[in-house]
Amino acid sequence: MFKYVVRRLIQAIPIFFGITLLSYFLMAITPGGPVAALTFGSRMSMEDIERFRVELGVNDPLSVQYIRWLLGDDWMRWDSDGDGISDRAVLISLTGPNGEVLPPGNRYGIIRGDFGRSFSKRRPVLDVLIERLPGTIELGVASLIIGGTFGIIVGVLAAVNHRKWFDHITRVLAVVFDAVPGFFFALILLLVFAKTLGWFPLGDRCQTLITDSCPPIYERLEYMVLPVFSLAIGIVSGWSRYMRASMLDVVSQDYIRTAHAKGLNARQVWFRHGMRNALIPIATFLGPAITGLLGGAVITETIFNYPGVGRTVIEAVGARDYPIVMAVTVYAGVATILGYLLSDILYGLIDPRIRYN
């Protein structure tokens, strides 16, 4: 198992760099740019705008911008005599719009853990993401636990009651909730339970108008009910169908008939012998499901005004905030790679026939 994990991690290195390279160039060639977004409607002169471009580092060729984002710029220019002026320039001519020599580099690149500063928020990118990550983790973990648990239970019960009323009702509801778009379902929840009935807040994670601190999670559960339900219902509908199909395949196996013949009760047969083997297909997409939820529920966080990573990405894309967009891309890429690796490991743990030696 250890050798397999190490081999998979080594194979993930070129995949990771391929993701970053493709994402960076796709983002950079989109119409507009951070300077246009940040200076829209301003009365800045062309000289000031050009100086702003130099400050943000978006005036260089795309290849240079990518290398600087990846490796930093301290190795490209440095000050050997201590006069505060860069006296060495490697790869390109690093000068300002008026020909002035730029100061020594102070960016270290993502390889060394520096994701730069946000263009729009003027703060380190890691500080922005770490600040928003707890909200995403709250929604992701809660919805995955609730949705996964109910999805597995409903799937098993639907298979046990095959072609009975419970099976028919759950199948119809699963198809309905799969067909309804997530944003539409979230808006319906807000309209009915928040605006009409007034049972829950309209959105946000916690009211911070009076104090800057957010209360503990057990004191603001009402803010999580609607967004968690919106995410969990999709998991229940998907997982229940997978679990039902897998369970129906398992119950026709010889060892299930043998367990019945040995006199075991129905609960032991279904949940102890049948469900473990039926969980094998679930393990194949458990890792990606964790990745998707922790990567930020973009639509849900935006509709419920929930300050998480997903909503931060939407804001960054609108502002052409390249550092935040690329930081989330790296985070999502790493999480996806680790998620699929987790699925393979769980597959081997659940299925005794799988060996990675």
pLDDT recorded at residue 92: 43
The pLDDT assigned to 231 comes to 87
Mean pLDDT of 61-74: 76
pLDDT tens by residue, 197-250:
888 877 777 655 444 567 777 777 888 888 888 888 888 888 888 888 888 888
CB 241 within 8 A of CB 155: yes
The partner residues of 124 in beta bridges, in order of sequence, read 117
Distance CA(18)–CA(192), nearest Å, equals 45
**Full set of structural domains in the chain with CATH:** 40-112 (no CATH), 125-350 (1.10.3720.10)
Residue 13 burial (10 A CB sphere; 0-12, 13-18, 19+): exposed
Using CA atoms, how far apart are residues 135 and 319, in angstroms rounded to an integer? 22
Q: Give the DSSP letter of residue 249.
A: H
pLDDT at 205: 72
Average pLDDT value over all residues in the chain: 76
pLDDT exceeding 70 applies to what percent of the chain? 75
Q: Which 3-state string (H, E, C) describes 144-198?
A: HHHHHHHHHHHHHHHHHCCCCHHHHHHHHHHHHHHHCCHHHHHHHHHHHHHHHCC
Judge contact between 67 and 75, C-beta under 8 A: no
What are 258's two structure tokens? 């043998």
The amino acid that residue 331 corresponds to is Y
Q: Is 109 in contact with 71 (CB distance < 8 Å)?
A: yes
Task: Report pTM.
Answer: 0.75
Q: For 282-302, what is the mean pLDDT?
A: 72
Least confident of 36-40, 47-51, 83-87: 83-87
Whether the per-residue pLDDT at 155 is higher than 50: the answer is: yes
For residue 153, list its beta bridge partners: none
Which range has highest mean pLDDT (115-119, 127-131, 275-279)?
A: 127-131
* Confidence bin at 28 (pLDDT 50/70/90): confident
Q: Per DSSP, what are the bridge partners of residue 95?
A: 101
Distance spanning both ends of the chain, measured CA to CA: 6
